Structure 1
Amino acid sequence: MAVHLHRPGYDHARKLVEEQHVVLDERDDWSEHQPSAAEENAFIEEHGYAEYGRWHLGVDDEQNPETKGHYKFPYGDFADIHRCAVLSAESRAAQRDYTDIENAAAHLHGMLEALRTLRS
């Protein structure tokens, strides 16, 4: 699999954190907070795959860009970046040795932790 960092997704995530469009949730919350397949499909129908891709840190070049399978490591709910999703992406990228995605997620994690500190 040719999975690597999706720069538009990473840039979008950084901007969301800078603008404080964040949910500072707990590590294991992603299974409850992630968009459902129906929500993903509705988002794609309304905004297209390029915009859908901006909500992912990775892409798989072996998959068609006009499919969900092309996009990997989601980090938000189409409104906010979720700390739990970033932590999940960081962990899964490390397990699969996708260093560029792991490093991007770690950077986002650090940005989110700084916000958490400011808010407490």
Structure 2
Amino acid sequence: MTVKLNARAFDHAKKLTEQGRTVLDDRDEWSEHRPSAADENAYLEKHGFNEYARWYLGIDDEMGEETKGRYKFPYGDFERVHRCGVLSAKVRAGQQKYADIENAAEHLHGLLDAKRAGNR
């Protein structure tokens, strides 16, 4: 399996963060905030794989382009960037030794924490 950084998704996440389209939650909330399979399917049906891909920091280039399995490391709910999703992606990318994805998630984490500190 060859998983690499999805630069389009990283740019999308940075843009959403700049726009304030974020949820500044804690890491352990991702299991509750992560989109369900039904949410993913509904989003795919409405928007297609091109838009779906923008919500995943990793791409497995060994998987078919129009398969959900191609897209790894989700970070949001198809509307907003979730801090818990970014933290989960960072930890999992580190465990799996995907340094480019881990670094991108760390960058997003920094942006989100700066926003979080500004909201206090």
Q: What is the TM-score with the length of structure 2 in the denominator?
A: 0.99
Q: Matches of residues 84-103 of structure 1 in structure 2 within 5 Å? A: 84-103=84-103
Give the corresponding residue for 1:55.
Answer: 55
Q: Matches of residues 30-45 of structure 1 in structure 2 within 5 Å? A: 30-45=30-45
> CA RMSD for the aligned pairs?
0.4
Letter in 2 for 1:52: Y
| CA deviation after TM superposition for structure 1 residue 35, in Å | 0.7
User: What is the DSSP-based 3-state SS (H/G/I as helix, E as strand, rest coil) of the residue aligned with 2:58?
Assistant: strand
Gaps (5+ residues) in structure 1? none
User: What is the DSSP-based 3-state SS (H/G/I as helix, E as strand, rest coil) of the residue aligned with 2:109?
Assistant: helix
| CA deviation after TM superposition for structure 1 residue 102, in Å | 0.2
CA displacement 1:90-118 (0-9 Å, x = unmatched)? 00000000000000000000000000011
| CA deviation after TM superposition for structure 1 residue 42, in Å | 0.5
CA displacement 1:47-72 (0-9 Å, x = unmatched)? 00010000010000000010100000
Identity %: 61
Q: What is the TM-score with the length of structure 1 in the denominator?
A: 0.99
Aligned residues: 120
Which contiguous aligned blocks of 4+ residues in structure 1 show a shift greater than 4 angstroms?
Answer: none
